[in-house]
Amino acid sequence: MKHNPLQGIRVVDFGHFVAAPAASQTLAELGADVIKVEPPEGDWVRSGTSLGESILRSYNRGKRSISLNLKDPRGLEVAERLISGADIVLQNMRPGAMNALGLGSDRVRELNPRAIYATVSGFGLHGPSRNRPGLDIAAQAESGLMAITGELGGTPLRVGTTIIDAATAHVLTEALLAALLDRERFGRVAPIEISLLEVAVHLQSTEWTGYDVTGTAPQRRGNGQPGVAPAADLIATKDGYIVVSGYSAQHWPRLCDVLGRPDMATDPRFADNNARVANRGALLIALSDALGDRTSEQCVELLAGNGIVVGAVRSYDQVRTAGDVIAGEFFTRGENQDGESFDVVRMPYLLGEQHDRIVRRVPRLGEHSAEIAAEIGYTGDELNALIAAGAVRAEGPAVHPDSVTSSA
């Protein structure tokens, strides 16, 4: 039986791009009813760009879409009715936008004291940058992450994906689940504040603690850990690259034996960790010489079979066909607005014994406006009036008066 731990929980999602919608996507996967509130022109992810389409498919499946003009008092009233019956309200609009619309945390608390209100910002709500717009790349830059990413002597680099957006979504999901538990167990309801900058700093906890311990700020140095070797070091193989870690007193001599080079274990340049770090260049040449006549997969089989941490550097095509990815069913199926099916990564954990094989569809803009309006008490005539006024956008023609009745 599929687990639906959030069945009966309603989420009103004013999010866009990744951080907030990705969190509510997880809540939808866990059984929550997620209502995606979009402007009449639709969320930016419906812009027709490949990036927008990718975000739309990744983080908006299984939700219901209602399209509202929140600048119209009548559209705002619909949103307020939605909020009145919500368990969670989340948003990552530009700073101040929700307050300007009249849907800030204080107003939400007035409408629904049980609603958990979550805000995602770029730089936090209390510092000098609280009014700045923020995206993933700005958080990567201002958190120090770009400063430590790249080759020694090279320029700063961004991580190759929107890692801060994705991590913020995970952190937000964690906070929302904790808040729901807090509300149910103790009756406490508190707003949630998360910033991309704080998440980006938190992701570097080890580096910040190391900075405190040593007094030396971490620097860009490409691959490899600065204080241990070999650790995450890149080694060229016959057909690509691998990364290897074997720096402990137990694993270093084992690595040397496996490679048929027991002399390296006692070589003064490599005899202990400090020596290996100081002579990393010579160490990598020696390891490359010992492994370079094997393919990456042969290296993985040899080293992993002897308890050495190793990984083949794989392309996206190779990842998609990797045995562990297939066996773990990392990918599931989604359905686009037009019915086209596509592959998408599923939640990165299992809840219960069965994988989630439900195909969740991306909603069309305003697809569920009439349905949701009925649930919060609007009649067909009232909805038609809202549609005619431009306060609500609903898919298809005007609603017949008898086709939408109050179910509130």
3-state secondary structure the chain: CCCCCCCCCEEEECCCCCHHHHHHHHHHHCCCEEEEEECCCCCHHHCCCHHHHHHHHHHCCCCEEEEECCCCHHHHHHHHHHHHCCCEEEECCCCCHHHHHCCCHHHHHHHCCCCEEEEEECCCCCCCCCCCCCCHHHHHHHCCCHHHCCCCCCCCCCCCCCHHHHHHHHHHHHHHHHHHHHHHHHCCCCCEEEEHHHHHHHCCHHHHHHHHHHCCCCCCCCCCCCCCCCCCEEEECCCCEEEEECCCCCHHHHHHHHCCCCHHHHCCCCCCHHHHHHCHHHHHHHHHHHHCCCCHHHHHHHHHCCCCEEEECCCHHHHHCCHHHHHCCCEEEEECCCCCEEEEECCCCCCCCCCCCCCEECCCCCCCHHHHHHHCCCCHHHHHHHHHHCCEECCCCCCCCCCCCCCC
Catalytic site includes residue 267? no
Question: In 3D, which of 78, 166, 83 has the Cα closest to residue 374?
Answer: 78
Facing residues of 337 across strands?
none
Do the beta carbons of residue 396 and residue 369 sit within 8 Å?
no
Asked if residues 195 and 122 have their Cβ atoms less than 8 Å apart, the reply is yes
**Cα 22 to Cα 162: distance, rounded to the nearest angstrom:** 12
**Among candidate residues 172, 153, 138, the one with its CA nearest the CA of residue 15:** 172
Residue from 33, 87, 165, 233 carrying the catalytic annotation: 165
Which residues are designated catalytic?
A: 165
